[in-house]
Amino acid sequence: MLFDLRPKSRREEIFDREKEFKELEKSVEMYPMTLILGIRRVGKSSILRAYLNENPGILIDCRELYAESGHLTKEDLIRNLQSKAGLLNKIMSKFKISVNLKFLTIEPRELSLREIFKELNKIGEKTGRFIIAFDETQYLRFYGSRGGRELLALFAYAYDNLPNLRLILTGSEIGLLHDFLKITSYGSPLYGRLGGEIIVESFNRKTSLEFLKFGFDEAEVEVNKEEIKKAVELLDGVPGWLVIFGVEYLKDRDFEKAIRRTFEVARGLVIGELKELKQRSPRYVEILKGIALGYNRWSLIRDYLKVRGDRIPDPRLYALIENLKKMNWIVEENEIYKIADPVVATVLKD
């Protein structure tokens, strides 16, 4: 069912994205490590889950792990891996193999992640390869006390020594993820280790229209073409928003109400995300508001903040704007800034 709010987990449920699937398959074949990048709600987790449904591997949701306790420790990660025992057994019975996974029965304190990766690599020896996927990987910078450096060393170890393991890392905050992995900085554990990159983009207009049409056809509901067009104009091509609109429309078959409800839901989600952003710096949210309201050049943003009583030093403003780009909240084109997701822009305006 297309109009279902959960991330999809089977390939047949995913609309379009054949190209991304092929790229992912090819990249996993070629590289020990693959990144899946794109703004929130564009469909990264859905693609990843569908891929893991067809390939032996496990998924670790870093955002969820982080949210549980506000930080990440080795024990958190190991417990999470241990909680996947059922899945691991299922994979082994599907491939008719048996690997003694000692890590499942040992106290996390007495284990090292390196040992666990080695044991999972053994499954990979039998099945061809084994995937360890981290969803929203940029949260791993909160691992341990050194910005996750130990994990980078672990990834580098796996990259070099465990030929049957494959890492897949997704990230909504692309620049932050790159900063965390530091593949291009000399002295970083992962330095020089190339990976594949799959960029998941929003749907273009045509695909967005087809997406909605397909969803309504599937639900056997006839919807006026003009309304579908209007919805795409308002919501653009982020599949997560289109799905919410579809679900809401099916409830009462009332276009205005469905759009209103979609923005209400969007507001709730975006406000939560802005809260998290505000904790990093309250200025981020002010800058985003300014940009959403049309103060979309460097000097205009500075003026906008000034009028609101914030005389921000230029280098500071520069750094914050760079970070917002890295976090994928905004995009820049010819020195003009734009909120990356038009629905987020609408929410910010009021």
Closer Cβ to Mg ion, 59 or 223, answer by number: 59
125, 144, 269, 273, 293 from 266: Cα distances, Å: 44, 33, 5, 11, 18
- Least separation in angstroms between CB 64 and ligand ADP: 12
Selection from 204, 205, 218, 206 nearest residue 246 by Cα:
218
Binding partner of 240, given ligand ADP, Mg ion, none, CB within 5-8 angstroms per partner class: ligand ADP
- Using the rule CB under 5 A, give the single segment among 41-49, 106-114, 124-132, 265-273 that binds Mg ion: 41-49
Q: From the list ligand ADP, Mg ion, none, pick the one residue 108 interacts with, judged by a Cβ distance below 5 to 8 Å according to partner type.
A: none
Q: Among candidates 310, 253, 258, which has minimal Cα distance to 284? A: 310
Site mask, Mg ion, residues 1-40, x = CB under 5 A?
----------------------------------------
Q: Between residues 88 and 232, which has the closer beta carbon with respect to ligand ADP? A: 232
| Residue at shortest CB range from Mg ion | 45
DSSP 47-111: HHHHHHHHSSEEEEEHHHHHHHHSSB-HHHHHHHHHTTHHHHHHHHHHTT-----GGGGS-GGG-
CB of 42 to ligand ADP, least distance (A): 4
Which residues in this chain contact ligand ADP in the complex, by CB under 6 A? Answer: 2, 4-8, 14-17, 38, 40-46, 239-240, 243
For residues 1 and 12, give the distance between their C-alpha atoms in angstroms, rounded to a whole number.
9
Write the burial class of residue 321 (CB in 10 Å: 0-12 exposed, 13-18 middle, 19+ buried).
Answer: buried
Please state the closest distance from residue 300 (CB atom) to Mg ion, in A.
33
Site for Mg ion in 254-293 (CB under 5 A): none
Strands across the sheet containing 196-199: 57-61, 130-135, 165-171, 33-37, 196-199
Q: How far apart are CA 342 and CA 331, in angstroms?
A: 12
Question: Residue 45 or 202: which CB sits closer to Mg ion?
Answer: 45
Tell me which of ligand ADP, Mg ion, none is bound by residue 121, counting a contact when its beta carbon lies within the kind-specific cut-off of 5 to 8 angstroms: none
Give the burial class of 230: count Cβ atoms within 10 A of its Cβ; 0-12 exposed, 13-18 middle, 19 or more buried: middle
Q: At its nearest, how many Å lie between ligand ADP and the CB of residue 165?
A: 23
Closer CB to ligand ADP, 154 or 265, in the complex: 265
Please identify, using beta-carbon distances, which residue of 150 and 201 lies nearer to ligand ADP: 201
Among 210, 202, 135, 147, CA closest to 173: 135
Q: Please tell me the count of residues contacting Mg ion according to CB under 5 A.
A: 1
The item of ligand ADP, Mg ion, none sharing an interface with residue 66, based on CB under 5 to 8 Å by kind, is none
CA gap 43, 87 in Å, rounded:
23
Closest distance to ligand ADP from the beta carbon of 59 (Å): 11
Distance of alpha carbon 226 from alpha carbon 249, whole angstroms: 14
* 208 near Mg ion, rule: CB under 5 A: no
CB 46 within 8 A of CB 7: yes
To the nearest whole angstrom, how small is the minimum distance from the Cβ of residue 177 to Mg ion? Answer: 13
Cβ closest to ligand ADP, residue 16 vs residue 150: 16
Q: Are 85 and 205 in contact (CB under 8 A)?
A: no
Q: Which of 20, 28, 38, 45 binds Mg ion (CB under 5 A)?
A: 45
Give residues in contact with Mg ion (CB under 5 A): 45
